[in-house]
A and B are shown apart, each in its own frame.
Chain A
């Protein structure tokens, strides 16, 4: 007996009291312990609304500091080779590290 996709995906999760907070750090190099040069936050609890230009000081000095404060690293950017002839091109920030933590919300 199968259910519809809508029914299957409306099942109550086993952890309905948890929400994800995301911290994205842009670091100076590909090393986790290099300096934070950019930072972004998304609050899955809905209790706050981080937004562009909301702070001039980074929440952590390095990516490692975030790890030591309990954030879990879930992704770091790949190191991609430079295309010949485009070695000096500059574009999006290359060293992106995505962290998460799960926090309690009231039911």
Chain B
């Protein structure tokens, strides 16, 4: 992973804009069946943990299953586009939800309230088997990743309009912004559900890491202004402001805006117009004292 990924495998600007608005990017059935078959044995055996910040090469050296997964060109391309070359492993975990087992998690954000606006981690989620609605795959709520909440403080939210109950074919890899609201649903099927997750920290500034050839594509703005059920009323415009701020961070374009919100806010001219009224006119004498 220390080697740079070929540019043709990187995400494009439209895809990156999708990530900025949705907080996720999915690669459906991107892992070959032969690997998906081997994955079950690997995940059942467990994958040892490492200290926070372990270099990827050290945690998952060449020859391991996970490294093979991460070296798949579309996976490697997406990872480099989102966090850059040479990310480090924050933590990883194997989640196996048994048949007819377990309770749904309460909705939550991972870790604790994360105050970063100029950087983000990504979480890779790999599903080696088909995930059906009945199996209760991960629920996530598109567009919630920029909202600052503290882990299960949102546990009271059972359902939000526009939520995504993941259904996907075997071999799907999903990348999530660390802040997205999500939870594992109850498994009501007769088969276990497998998911392997890795959280990556960037080690470079997340500036223009993707293939920006399509930066002027009108579809970029369309993605950035995507609306979801829960943003349909008063919350929507604030989301647009925060997406514009993140897009400025990612592109380095400090003039980028959506619907003029940030630009208008900065309009505070200091030049006094030549025709301005004499400053003494209209001044009040009441400041001199009571009854003066």
Most chain B C-beta atoms within 10 Å of own C-beta, residue among A34, A37, A56, A95: A37
Contact of A53 among B153, B158, B161, B234 (CB under 8 A): B158
In the bound complex, do residue A56 and residue B153 qualify as a contact, i.e. CB atoms below 8 Å apart? Answer: no
| Candidates B148, B159, B185; contact of A89 at CB < 8 Å | B148
Which of chain A's residues has its CB closest to B153's CB? A92
Q: Say yes or no: A90-B238 contact (C-beta < 8 A), given A52-B104, A53-B139, A53-B183.
A: yes
Q: How far is the CA of A52 from the CA of B184 in the complex (A)?
A: 9
Which chain B residues lie closer than 8 Å to A95 at the CB level?
234
Give chain A residues whose Cβ lies under 8 Å from the Cβ of B239: 90
Interface size on B, residues (CB 8 A): 36
B186 in contact (CB, < 8 A): yes
Q: Scan residues 128-183 of chain B and give those whose CB is less than 8 A from a CB of chain A.
A: 136, 139, 146-149, 153-154, 156-161, 163, 165, 183
Q: Answer yes or no: A32 CB below 8 A from chain B CBs.
A: no
CB distance from A95 to the nearest CB of B (A): 7
Question: By the criterion CB–CB under 8 Å, are B233 and A92 in contact?
Answer: no
Instruction: Judge if A9 is at the interface, Cβ distance under 8 Å.
Output: no
Contact flag A92-B149 (CB < 8 Å), given A38-B157, A53-B185: yes
User: With A24-B156, A40-B158, A88-B242 known to touch, is A51 a contact of B146 (CB < 8 Å)?
Assistant: no
Residues on B with beta carbons closer than 8 Å to the beta carbon of A90: 146-148, 235, 238-239, 242
Secondary structure dominating the interface of B: loop
**CB pair B147 A35 closer than 8 Å:** no
Which chain B residues in 21-69 approach chain A with CB under 8 Å? none
Cβ 8 A contact of A28, one of B139, B147, B149, B235: B235
Contacts of A40 in B (CB 8 A): 156-159
Contact: A26 with B160, CB < 8 Å?
yes
**Most chain-A CB neighbours within 10 Å: which of B103, B153, B231, B234?**
B234
Min CB distance A60 to B, Å, is 12
- Closest residue to B136 on the A side, CB-wise? A53
Return the chain B residue nearest A37 by Cβ: B230
- Interface code B232-249, partner A: CB below 8 Å = 1, 0 otherwise? 111100110110010000
Residues of A within 8 A of B (CB): 24, 26-29, 34-41, 50-56, 58, 88-95
Given contacts A28-B232, A51-B158, 5 further A-B contacts (CB under 8 A): A54-B158, A56-B159, A88-B242, A90-B148, A91-B148
